[in-house]
Structure 1
Amino acid sequence: MGTYDWGAQEIGAPKRRELRKVPAAVGLLLEDVQTGWVGEVVRVEKAGGMRVVALEDRHGRTKSFRTGFGFLLEGEPVELVDPAVAQASAPPAQAAPARSASGSVVVRNLKARTARASRIWVEGKHDAELVEKVWGHDLRVEGIVVEPLHGVDDLAAAVRDFSPGPGRRLGILVDHLVAGSKEERIAAAAMAVPGARGNVLVVGHPYVDVWQAIRPSVLGIPAWPVVPRGTDWKTGILRGLGWPSQTPADVALGWKRLLGNVRTYADLEASLLGRVEEVIDFLTAEESRRDGS
């Protein structure tokens, strides 16, 4: 196996750590340590008698690197090798487990599971699409369905109609759930519904809209545009980005463009990540206790 020798070794330094050999395969997300370039492998080819990989970053730009040392895979230093070399020298068990967009280990050959009675409710279609893109695999494994509410103004009535109880739980993700807000009062009213306590969890993020839960660096900007008071928020954001913003079709296209830049949980703000994980844990806690896990 190769050794971890990025930079000179001082006399008396610990023995160099052996690195895991990883095949240079299309779709692998790598970081080049020397330049900090992060991207997916889109090509593996020979150039100038060397084996090189082309890494495409989130903006569609590509850069080629020689295989070998100097790469990080999920934060782990690895030796990037030709697939044929890896197959000859390393057992299949050494391959890194595939990860979903949420960072969880991908469950292979999963049999279809009957959906739980429990549900995740989110405010709108965009919230549902974002949760599905990042946590979709996890939700299918757990049999959890995400449903958009199209607004939370009458959340208490919706919770009452759902009739929450043991084995029939609700996890609700609310936009702009901050102290003193209208949303905080709505959440409190929903939790006062009979059967809600212990069976309903209302969590939220501080953003006006779930769009803001996407890290601005994903779009190549330092911060989200400031929307003037009295301007529709989505329209103002699109204008600030210099994108079409006049019609509902423009808004839909803008969201599609934003969502297309989201690849993994690392593209989202921690304030959203923690809340979604909290909801999933809440909805699966009863079964985990029954299984003794």
Structure 2
Amino acid sequence: MMDAFQTDELADYLLAETLDGLYTPYALRLPPGTGPHPFVFIAYGNGGGGFSWLRDRVHRFRHVTDVLLEAGYACAWSRYRTEVELGYQTGGPLKTDIRQGMELMSRAPLEYEDEVAVLRHVAGHPAIDGERLFHLGVSHAGEMLFKMLSQYAGLLRAGVAAEPASHEFLTLRLDDPSVTTTDGLRNIETLEIRSVDRARARITDPGEVSRRLDGVDIPILVLGRDQDELQGVFRLTYDLLAEKRADAEWRSWSHDIHGYIYPETDAGGVLHIDEVQREALAVIVDFFNRHRA
């Protein structure tokens, strides 16, 4: 049995050993019954923030986990290390070897490799079916799903990439006047790529993108947001995937909130949710259910 380092009224908090021997936390919730249960990894945005971020996410955005539990899925919010600017693009696949009896790595692990660590760890939990692991990621975490799949095969049964900010994965040229760079770090907060044609024209290495997508070994549902300034990137991610896999799926809704699939519960315990969010969550559960058997 895996011991939690902390437990509260919603979740058990566990530590997964990362690929370089440190630890990353995740907050596990289990549905009723002994299992083994299918499992959904839930992620949002960039990394960092530590345990306080994780606890806040578990409580303030509990509704998505409530929905998954009701559908029979174990699930967990997780915290992973901070994104490294162009770390995926420049670092290549992680290689390891042994020197003087200890590991040597070609580079430090990246944030999506902390997801790999959590998935491998939770697969060993006695209440989890390690053959039925799923992924639900929004924004940068949607791109992380594609990065992970391009380098690590056989981990997941299916995944949802909601509003995936896939500009690095798709090798997009970001020479827009709104993009500024300070000390080698790009600021893309005001970047607008609303059309698929505009996004496609910015691909700098089509062959590399094709090779990366060849690593996708699961069905993926890509979700857009109609009025998002990066809707062209979201749709292009789907279009390129659909050229490779007939089981790729696309849905998009109009909503004011980036990350609308994670409705918020306020400090008083009141859930703020609308019909678009309810419909989107139902579509996600249906997608997982269709790939659950």
TM over 0.5: no
Which protein shows a greater Rg? Answer: 1
Q: Which has the higher strand share?
A: 2
Q: Could you say which structure has the greater relative contact order, defined with CA pairs below 8 angstroms and 6 or more residues apart?
A: 2
Normalised TM-score (structure 2): 0.29
Normalised TM-score (structure 1): 0.29
